[in-house]
Amino acid sequence: MPSYTPDNKLDLFFSTDLISQEVRSQLHPDVHLRPLASSDYHRGHLDVLSVLTVVSDPGESEWVAQFNRMKSAPSTYYPIVLVDKNSDKIIGAGCVFIERKFLRGLGSVGHIEDIAVDKNQQGKKLGLRIIQALTYVSENSGCYKTILNCSDANIPFYQKCGFERKENEMAKYAPERKSQSPRL
Ligand SMILES: CC(=O)SCCNC(=O)CCNC(=O)[C@H](O)C(C)(C)COP(=O)(O)OP(=O)(O)OC[C@H]1O[C@@H](n2cnc3c(N)ncnc32)[C@H](O)[C@@H]1OP(=O)(O)O
């Protein structure tokens, strides 16, 4: 019997109406796709993100404070997770945030960030479903394009997801401060 917490018992970041039913229907029956919930610190949200980068755990109360700060910017951040229905643990995560512009007829751009699939679950099309779900949110929010940065090693994955290579990423890191997490 699945032990996962149903959506209506969770404090979700945004409405499930924005989740593509088509993408949900393509998932394995043991996997659930939904918006991030305020209790997901306990479901291993940071553990999943650790496949992506070094994660410093801020502790539950700071994690929840960040959840609420992000949520208080309306219609801007759309973090989603994949949950293993049998364990109620998070096995995948990603986010799209919406940039509003003065250009392109006051258009918007969706930025995909922080895509991660649990090491033991990679290669099962879960990453593809995360990208499809985030692109759906972006396009349904009116974005004229959806973009992301990635390493060379991940280019083939994003090409499989329908993305094409465009331009270059530039970065300038702020001078290092003691309180800052490592430069990555
Ligand atoms: C914007 C960002 O966040 S970039 C950072 C992305 N995240 C990471 O690098 C963290 C570590 N890696 C991961 O979490 C995962 O491996 C991901 C997210 C990159 C891919 O997720 P997965 O669930 O493993 O990929 P998925 O099974 O959906 O792959 C879809 C297709 O892409 C292919 N693919 C996936 N990764 C790669 C790769 N590195 N090189 C070539 N092809 C790949 C798969 O073979 C599959 O192809 P198919 O349709 O022909 O079978």
> Domains of the chain (ranges plus CATH)?
7-160 (3.40.630.30)
pLDDT at residue 179 is higher than 80: no
Atom of ligand 1 nearest to the CA of 153: 39
Q: Kindly give the distance from the C-alpha atom of residue 123 to the centroid of ligand 1, in angstroms, as a whole number.
A: 7
Give residue 84 CA to ligand 1 midpoint distance, Å. 18
Task: State whether the beta carbon of 123 lies less than 6 angstroms from ligand 1.
Answer: yes
Q: Is 128 in the pocket of ligand 1 (CB under 6 A)?
A: yes
**DSSP H helix total and E strand total for the chain:** 6, 5
Query: What does the DSSP assignment read for 158-176?
Result: HHHTT----S-----PPPP
ipTM of this predicted complex? 0.98
Ligand 1 atom closest to residue 114's alpha carbon, by position in its atom list = 3
What residue's CA is closest to ligand 1, atom 21?
127
pTM of the predicted protein model: 0.96
Is the distance from the beta carbon of residue 153 to the nearest atom of ligand 1 less than 6 Å? yes
Phi/psi zone of residue 105: left (φ > 0), alpha (ψ -120 to 50 degrees), beta?
left
| Residues 176-181, mean pLDDT to the nearest whole number | 66
For 108, the enclosing helix (H) or strand (E) is strand 108-117
Cα(95) to centroid(ligand 1), Å: 16
Q: What is the pLDDT of residues 104-159, one digit of tens each?
A: 999 999 999 999 999 999 999 999 999 999 999 999 999 999 999 999 999 999 99
**Which pLDDT belongs to residue 108?**
98
Radius of gyration over every alpha carbon of the chain, rounded to an integer in angstroms:
17
